[in-house]
Amino acid sequence: MYRHLFSRKNLGIPYMLFLALFVMAPLFVLFYYAFTNGEGEFTMLNLTGFFSDPNTLGTLFYSFGIASVTTIVCLLMAYPVAYILATSKLRAKSVILMLFVMPMWINFSLRITALKEILTWIEGSLAYHPFLNTVLGMSYDFLPFMILPIYTTISKLDGALLEAARDLGAGNVQAFLKITLPLSMPGILSGVSMVFLPAMTNYVVLDMLYNSTYIMGSLIGSYFAAYNWHGGSMIALILLGIVCLFTLLTRGIEEENTRGGMLL
């Protein structure tokens, strides 16, 4: 009788409840507000308004800019580190890896506050380079999310493939470009999605580092502060759409890559 109680189906119930209450229901509310106006009537104005207002479009563009630059900076820093750590025979490598991941254990706003002091010390005043500061802050914050997945994929890489490449006459560079890089693509992609998407909305970093230009997150906040829940919900919905699109895209590339890997 108890076995029946703990069947697979039943074990899923708590999560289903959670999903329905805290994911699906708010989503419906979001949809409702995004497509209605103050009188509760259906309207597309919020949607068309978003794409015809130079400010909201500009904010989207600016957020994209910050997120892209942050992602590139993180990738450029993380890949070599992850590669060296994963391929080296250092006994202390787990310690070094921990050193990179450790900042994640310290509270995020505390770290940004520390960064603020360091940057002020270097630049004199934070006010002159808001974009640079924001990118630095975000990179500092999200770097571990890029290192970890890349490190994992590279360390799981089958060494026999590299040996085979060498046997067939490939040099170091060629072996890296043809074997290691394509096979670490899944790690790169999950790293990119873990950095890019939060970087588009994490306005706390901007606030703390004194960037007075809004990104998507702060724009939503300002709509809600002005009691415009409908416009704010629409922006949140559009962001959600971008996230979905992004996920679909990376999944597509990932599938293609695994197939490519098999062809090798």
What residues line the site for other proteins (CB under 8 A)? 54-59, 61-62, 65, 107, 109-110, 113, 120, 125-128, 207-208, 210-214, 218-219, 222, 224-229, 256, 259-260
What's the closest the beta carbon of residue 38 comes to other proteins, in angstroms? 9
What's the closest the beta carbon of residue 231 comes to other proteins, in angstroms? 10
Toward other proteins, which CB reaches closer, 119 or 165? 119
What's the closest the beta carbon of residue 195 comes to other proteins, in angstroms? 17
Toward other proteins, which CB reaches closer, 45 or 96? 45
Toward other proteins, which CB reaches closer, 54 or 159? 54
Toward other proteins, which CB reaches closer, 69 or 81? 69
What's the closest the beta carbon of residue 100 comes to other proteins, in angstroms? 24
Toward other proteins, which CB reaches closer, 188 or 219? 219
Toward other proteins, which CB reaches closer, 2 or 227? 227
Cross-strand partners of 36 = 42
What's the closest the beta carbon of residue 260 comes to other proteins, in angstroms? 7
Toward other proteins, which CB reaches closer, 49 or 81? 49
What's the closest the beta carbon of residue 229 comes to other proteins, in angstroms? 8
CA distance 54 to 102: 41
Q: Between the CA of residue 101 and those of 183, 197, 204, what are the distances in Å?
A: 23, 20, 21
Listing DSSP states for the chain in one string gives -HHHHTSHHHHTHHHHHHIIIIIIHHHHHHHHHHTB-TTS-B-SHHHHHHHH-HHHHHHHHHHHHHHHHHHHHHHHHHHHHHHHHHH---TTHHHHHHHHHGGGGS-HHHHHHHHHHHHHHHHS-GGG-HHHHHHHHHHHHHHHHHHHHHHHHHHTS-HHHHHHHHHTT--HHHHIIIIIHHHTHHHHHHHHHHHHHHHHH-HHHHHHTT--S--HHHHHHHHHHTT-HHHHHHHHHHHHHHHHHHHHHHHHHHHHHHHHHHH-
What's the closest the beta carbon of residue 9 comes to other proteins, in angstroms? 35
CA distance 26 to 206: 27
